[in-house]
Amino acid sequence: MKKVDYILVGFGIAGVTLAESLLQRGKTFVVYDDAAKGATTASGGVLNPTVLKRFTAAWNASEFFETAIPFYSQLSDRLNASLINTTTIHRIFNSIEEQNNWMVASDKKELSQYLASEITSNQNPAINAPFGLGAVKEGAMLQPKELIEKFRAYLKDRELLRIGQLDFNALQVTSNDIRYQDISAANIIFSQGASVVNNPFFKLSVSPKDDRVFVGNKGEYVLFKAPALQLNEVLKGPVMIIPLDDHLYKVGASYSRDDFSEETTIRAKEEILQKLKKMISCNFEVVGQVAGVRPTVIDRKPLLGGFDDTLPVYFMNGLGTRGLSMAPLLSTWLLDFIEKKTVLPKEVDVKRFY
Ligand SMILES: Cc1cc2nc3c(=O)[nH]c(=O)nc-3n(C[C@H](O)[C@H](O)[C@H](O)COP(=O)(O)OP(=O)(O)OC[C@H]3O[C@@H](n4cnc5c(N)ncnc54)[C@H](O)[C@@H]3O)c2cc1C
């Protein structure tokens, strides 16, 4: 038997940040991942410290951002790739009232670091923004698909990644260790995203029951080409436009509650394109569409820890709509909880629903 400190199940952003944190701590592990589509590869890659619908700061934004940017920079160095860049996110204003609300918000203590106080006038003829734009500072863009691909290759070279679905029937769990195939591990962490609904150790009710705690929230993006758009930074209106390269953009995302399927839909495409047409006036060509399921919790907070104190079985889940910015600090909280017996913040503890 090969002995390791951890088995990780799932290699989306939760698995990625756990693996990097374990490497930094000198811990041994093996990752199991079925290489299926997950939320992370479908995601927009935007790290946004604010909620642009309401002009508020995202929950715990400053703590998450202080950790996330250096964490992903360090991981980029490990993988010898440029995977994170800072970016400005522009919000299109719809009225004078919105401009005023923005100015008031930008004066608030928790937001002044993120919201530029002045209104920017729109200089791009392909964008419809007669009331101007507000700028969010300190946002960032991660390349989630490239990150996963490069990190998978890194782990595979070191024989730390096993591709395939973990079979729960073949998993032996005792209070002393976890055994699976030729591996004996001191702990197992399930970082399976929305697929956790099929995990027999997961004890929270799943939609569509009335007492649901864990809900799927499907999101879709449309990919389009628009040489005349000439947009280099993220633009938020009724939907978000994210510049990729070579005049290619992602636009979305949609929200569809209680949907755990990963197929793209015509409905989401039409809804997104209708909103896109309100934001831009140039020609564009649709070239693709992606979908993923956000692992979302009813109180919109993550899920960390274990359900049974006698077993070394843990979860990192519930990353919701802002998983990329939260995951680095969440992985630290979870590993400190397991290794150093620290107390998890009660907002993220899986036991808060008991
Ligand atoms: C369309 C869309 C846009 C988004 N945009 C953003 C954004 O711009 N910024 C942001 O911060 N967040 C965004 N999010 C949210 C973010 O993507 C999620 O919070 C995050 O990716 C969840 O990561 P995860 O690792 O928990 O799950 P996932 O990324 O889904 O990863 C889970 C992995 O586990 C694997 N797995 C599951 N079960 C097993 C098993 N039994 N055996 C082996 N492997 C298994 C799956 O195949 C998958 O690879 C977006 C989400 C969507 C859907």
CATH architecture of 2-43+145-207+299-340: 3-Layer(bba) Sandwich (3.50)
Q: Is the CB of 39 under 6 A from ligand 1?
A: yes
Ligand 1 center to 181 CA (angstroms): 26
Q: Is the CB of 316 under 6 A from ligand 1?
A: no
Percent of the chain with pLDDT over 90: 91
Long-range contact pairs involving 163-167 (C-beta distance under 8 Å, separation at least 24): 163/33, 163/34, 163/35, 164/32, 164/34, 165/32, 165/34, 165/36, 166/9, 166/32, 166/34
Q: Is the CB of 283 under 6 A from ligand 1?
A: no
Q: Compute the residue count for the chain.
A: 354
Ligand 1 center to 106 CA (angstroms): 32
Dist. CA 192–CA 114, nearest whole Å? 32
The residues of the chain that CATH labels 3.30.9.10 are: 214-297
Per residue in 41-95, pLDDT tens?
999 999 999 999 889 999 999 999 999 999 999 999 999 999 999 999 999 999 9
166, 32 in Cβ contact below 8 A? yes
Per residue in 309-335, pLDDT tens?
999 999 999 999 999 999 999 999 999
Per residue in 11-48, pLDDT tens?
999 999 999 999 999 999 999 999 878 999 999 999 99
CA distances to 56, 213, 312 from 204, rounded to whole Å, are 30, 6, 18
Nearest CA to ligand 1 atom 30: 38
Percent of the chain with pLDDT over 70: 99
30, 183 in Cβ contact below 8 A? yes
Q: Is the CB of 144 under 6 A from ligand 1?
A: no
Dist. CA 101–CA 340, nearest whole Å? 44
Is the per-residue pLDDT at 227 higher than 90? Answer: yes
Is the per-residue pLDDT at 278 higher than 80? Answer: yes
The residues of the chain that CATH labels 3.50.50.60 are: 2-43+145-207+299-340
61-79 and 144-157 helices, crossing angle to 10°: 50
Ligand 1 atom closest to 253 (CA): 1
171, 148 in Cβ contact below 8 A? no
CATH code matching the domain that covers 214-297, chosen among 3.90.800.10, 3.30.750.24, 3.30.9.10, 3.90.1300.10: 3.30.9.10
CA distances to 75, 195, 210, 267, 271 from 256, rounded to whole Å, are 32, 16, 17, 10, 12
Average of per-residue pLDDT across 288-311: 96
Ligand 1 center to 256 CA (angstroms): 15
**Which pLDDT belongs to residue 207?**
64
Q: Is the CB of 151 under 6 A from ligand 1?
A: no
Average of per-residue pLDDT across 291-304: 95
Dist. CA 258–CA 267, nearest whole Å? 16
How many other C-beta atoms can be found within 10 angstroms of the C-beta atom of residue 285? 10
Q: To which residue do tokens 């003829």 refer? A: 125
Q: Is the CB of 46 under 6 A from ligand 1?
A: yes
